[in-house]
Amino acid sequence: MKQPDAETLIRHIRDVAASVGTARIMEVCGTHTVALFRSGIRSLLPENVRLISGPGCPVCVTSQGFIDAACELASREGITVCTYGDMVRVPGRKGSLADRRARGARVMVVYSARDALQFAVKNPDRRVVFLAVGFETTAPATAVTLVEADRNNVENFFVLTAHKRVVPAMLALVAGGEVAIDGFLCPGHVSVVIGSDAYLPVVEKGNWPCVVAGFEPHQMLRGILRLLEQISRDEAKLENVYRSAVSPKGNAQALAILDRVFTPAPAVWRAIGTIPDSGLDLREPFARFDARSRLDLEIGEDYDPPGCRCGEVIQGKIDPVECGLFGTTCSPAQPVGPCMVSGEGTCSAWYKYKGV
């Protein structure tokens, strides 16, 4: 069956939107935020359809305490910190990992958790710490890497974990009641792992429509259309318009290895605070790789840099332009908060595509 083209979808969206008041749709995932901007979809939607960016940029939701702890580790003698590239420029209380690197700290950007493990194997004289951030798209990679490290008994490899789970955050956000949301556009590639059924609690407990969509324009448009149709009928259902990649139950192998290595635990989200079950702690057999306990590392209190409103941005409470620092003292070249650092941060996307 031929899929309707973008123009037809937008026409349908306009038709359905005419029958609802304001529809507030949260795109949970940072990749969606950027894709919605760059495809031009945001500017094509009718005015009463509001897109709100959610807490789905892994760098943005990582607490300042974690960033500071990573910087402290990097400054220690004999330690190499391996990280995904986005984390390097996030400012901590005393500068970023990039600043530390400029002053001689060993900070290495890796493409994959496996690269960090391979580096550790090749450099037995160094203690190698991988910053394990990200949602369920990246958490299985950490899990496989730890199973590999365990099997090969690699003793100089550690992880500082701040993995996050998407669904508990969505539930906490709506339970908080401070952000009005009429429906969720659910992430594509996180859902490849967790499966579309993972959002059933959001639909059933909260009565919020959820539609899983991919990142291509026609997929996002279909997702938005389905959400508007549900909103107009006052329904709350789970739909999946990304069946080519997302199954109801997700990737069984990935979920099994996640469960083998990690157990759900409370986690601290920037400015939101602690959300039950929203993080992943290492299970006992893998605790020997935990940088926190093995390297005596304290994760300090979370805080926002002065004037920075990233915390409100990631919860969808304000748009980036409502922050006094946006585009003035805070820009991608000189970011104050993480939402301006990450390529998937809401502030960075607004800055780049709104022509500040």
Partner 1 sequence: MCLAVPGKIIALKDIDDSGVGRAGTVDFQGNRVDVSLALVPEATEGSWVLVHAGFALNVIDERDARETWKWLEEAKIVDDIPEELKGTGEGQTQNGNAP
Binding residues vs partner 1 (CB under 8 A): 29-31, 35, 38-39, 56-59, 80, 84-86, 106-115, 118-119, 123, 126, 134-135, 137-138, 140-141, 144, 147-148, 151, 187-190, 192-193, 215-217, 244-245, 251, 253-254, 257, 342-344
Task: Using the minimum distance from each CB to partner 1, give the nearer residue, 77 or 234.
Answer: 77
Minimum gap (Å) between residue 310 Cβ and partner 1: 16
Task: Using the minimum distance from each CB to partner 1, give the nearer residue, 175 or 245.
Answer: 245
Q: What are phi and psi of 340, to 5 degrees?
A: -95, -15
Residue type, 214: G
334 contact partners, CB below 8 Å, separation of at least 6: none
Minimum gap (Å) between residue 200 Cβ and partner 1: 20
- The distance in angstroms from the start CA to the end CA of the chain is 42
Residue with tokens 């996050």: 164
Minimum gap (Å) between residue 236 Cβ and partner 1: 25
Minimum gap (Å) between residue 62 Cβ and partner 1: 11
Alpha-carbon gap, residue 242 to 295, rounded angstroms: 42
Dihedral of CA 54/268/208/317: which sign?
negative
Task: Using the minimum distance from each CB to partner 1, give the nearer residue, 54 or 230.
Answer: 54
Tokens representing 82?
A: 């391996």
Beta bridge partners, 25, equal 51, 183
The Cβ of residue 336 has, within 10 Å, a number of other Cβ atoms equal to: 23
Task: Using the minimum distance from each CB to partner 1, give the nearer residue, 252 or 321.
Answer: 252
Alpha-carbon gap, residue 82 to 128, rounded angstroms: 7
300 contact partners, CB below 8 Å, separation of at least 6: 64, 65, 68, 69
Task: Using the minimum distance from each CB to partner 1, give the nearer residue, 20 or 147.
Answer: 147
Minimum gap (Å) between residue 295 Cβ and partner 1: 17
Task: Using the minimum distance from each CB to partner 1, give the nearer residue, 24 or 189.
Answer: 189
Task: Using the minimum distance from each CB to partner 1, give the nearer residue, 38 or 93.
Answer: 38
Minimum gap (Å) between residue 139 Cβ and partner 1: 10
Minimum gap (Å) between residue 22 Cβ and partner 1: 28
Task: Using the minimum distance from each CB to partner 1, give the nearer residue, 232 or 247.
Answer: 247
> To the nearest 10°, the Cα dihedral for 212, 216, 218, 224?
40
Minimum gap (Å) between residue 81 Cβ and partner 1: 9
> To the nearest 10°, the Cα dihedral for 317, 306, 350, 240?
-40
* Closest to 28 (Cα-Cα) out of 204, 168, 142: 168
Residue type, 164: K
Task: Using the minimum distance from each CB to partner 1, give the nearer residue, 153 or 301.
Answer: 153
Alpha-carbon gap, residue 187 to 192, rounded angstroms: 9
26 contact partners, CB below 8 Å, separation of at least 6: 51, 52, 53, 54, 173, 179, 181, 183, 184, 185, 316
Minimum gap (Å) between residue 191 Cβ and partner 1: 10
